[in-house]
Amino acid sequence: MAGEPDPREIEARVRRSEPLAGYEPWRTPDGRSPQADLERSTAKVDVFRGGNRSGKTKSGSVKTSRRALNQDPFRTFDTVQKLWVVCRNWEMLGGYLWPAIKEYIPDRYIAGSSWLRRSPPEIPLSIKLHNGNEIAFKSADASPDKFAGDKIDFAWVDEEIPGAIMQEVRARLIDKDGDLLVTFTPVRSLQWLRDLEREPGTAVFRASTIDNPYLPQAAVQAYAASLSDAARRRRLAGEYGQAEGLVYPQIGVEHFLEERAGSLVDDRGVNRYPWPLPPSWRRVAAIDFGYVNPFVFLLGALDPDQRLILYQCLYGSSRRITEWAAILKDEISAAPSRVWPIWSDHDAGERAELDFAGVPTEAAKKDIVQGIERVHDRLHIQGDGRPRVYFCMPALRPLVDEAELYQYPEQITGRTKDIPIDKDNHALDALRYAVMGLDGGPPAGIGLLIAGAGDRGGFGFD
């Protein structure tokens, strides 16, 4: 008969059967593992920047629960740890962040808890462990004063949160010289995150969706195929896009053409097209309705490489649709070839008026997120040094002026995250309709499978 079982041996055996012990970071076939690198890191600030579904939340919850349970194989802590888990909103916390952490913190470790919501999906406020450590949960859409007061040892921030909230979080870390982990996909390209990466004490780990072997490869491929180039760089590779805030910050002189002595000339003085443009080139147009806001009509031609050259922009408010109908009728009659399609905003009454006046339109594809990405693709300067959309100046000045104002909201809350403020976007919406008309979109539904909670807010689509 064996003697009394050694409690430490029992504890070790129990731990070996727990989910945290079963966790393995993913690796690429050639042995790279940003997840493993992050686990080993003892930097003051860790930044794990990855594509959608690349394993950001997994890594963050492992690092956080190891520290909370004092089971980190790379570090031990001899003081009681106060940890914060910060995410964008409570829905995301309840929807995927808490489940990810809970998986690694079995009930037997939990001494007490408080809840924002007890029924599923449960939303914790804090979890106190038998070892004295505590995890508090914070939502970035709460007011900044909800972040005041505490002195904390560690904060994990999952996904982009407003810079003002981040400042509060970092202030809480000062007293205990605590550690910070941020895991995110750079959907918004926030400046504070770029700055954080450049700080001397920061270790940066990069993960790509494609490398995560736990994802069904066919779904990843389908998702990749549904994305524009710009979106692929952000959402799969986790690369930064353009500057913070503006929706179309890249619109600039490279996209402008000016008429000079019978030619359209670009900003480097190169003659790009004859002017007027050849009558045989296809004409297309787009309309954004407005009465109080500006009504916009954009007219363009497609060159033989299908570049879109926008050369006319009618822009104005306080005119009834019947007036516009007459103006547009003249405009399209004066065009050297049939203007078709004329992609239009959806107001059925206004479209019927235009149709009646001899200006038939086609309903535009209005998905904002996808439309913006497609416009980005057209704006992108290609290998030949040219974009795939040009704006003739000064006619397109109203559009360019809008581009300097049209922006995303500062506060990021769940599902509105990818949606800009609905202002200064009249000519830009017409541009989006034209580009979506030309470049279309993938059939609805593709991408649902793996489009991450990380950038969708986890709850449905707009």
Ligand X SMILES: Nc1ncnc2c1ncn2[C@@H]1O[C@H](COP(=O)(O)OP(=O)(O)OP(=O)(O)O)[C@@H](O)[C@H]1O
Q: How far is the CB of 26 from ligand X (least distance, A)?
A: 4
Laid out side by side, the sheet with 295-302 consists of 271-274, 263-265, 256-260, 389-393, 308-316, 295-302, 283-288, 339-344, 362-363
Q: Does the protein bind Mg ion through residue 35 (CB under 5 A)?
A: no
Q: How far is the CB of 453 from Mg ion (least distance, A)?
A: 6
Q: Output 54 or 228, the one with its CB closest to ligand X.
A: 54
In terms of Cα–Cα distance, which of 297, 295, 303, 452 is closest to 378? 303
By the 8 A CB rule, do 62 and 20 touch?
Answer: yes
Laid out side by side, the sheet with 82-87 consists of 110-117, 123-129, 134-139, 82-87, 154-158, 179-184, 45-50, 202-207
Stretch that binds Mg ion, among 24-32, 49-57, 271-279, 360-368 (CB under 5 A): 49-57
Q: Output 56 or 235, the one with its CB closest to Mg ion.
A: 56
Contacts of 315 (CB under 8 A, 6+ apart): 294, 295, 296, 297, 398, 426, 427
Q: Which does 54 bind (CB under 5 to 8 A by kind): ligand X, Mg ion, none?
A: ligand X
Q: Which does 447 bind (CB under 5 to 8 A by kind): ligand X, Mg ion, none?
A: none
Q: Which residue is nearest to Mg ion (CB)?
A: 57
Q: Does the protein bind Mg ion through residue 238 (CB under 5 A)?
A: no
Q: Which residues bind ligand X (CB under 6 A)?
A: 24-26, 35, 50, 52-58, 185, 212, 214-215, 452-454
Q: Output 26 or 248, the one with its CB closest to ligand X.
A: 26
Q: Output 24 or 330, the one with its CB closest to ligand X.
A: 24
- Pairing state between β 308-316 and 295-302: antiparallel
Q: Is 103 helix (H, G, I), strand (E, B) or coil?
A: coil
Q: How far is the CB of 297 from ligand X (least distance, A)?
A: 39
Contacts of 333 (CB under 8 A, 6+ apart): none
Q: What is the DSSP-derived secondary structure letter of residue 171?
A: H
Q: How far is the CB of 379 from ligand X (least distance, A)?
A: 25
Q: Does the protein bind Mg ion through residue 212 (CB under 5 A)?
A: no
Of positions 33, 41, 54, 57, contacts Mg ion by CB under 5 A: 57
Of positions 398, 437, 454, 457, contacts Mg ion by CB under 5 A: 454
Stretch that binds Mg ion, among 55-63, 195-203, 344-352, 412-420 (CB under 5 A): 55-63
Q: What is the DSSP-derived secondary structure letter of residue 148?
A: -
Rounded CA separation 365/376 (Å): 16
Binding site for Mg ion (CB under 5 A): 56-57, 454
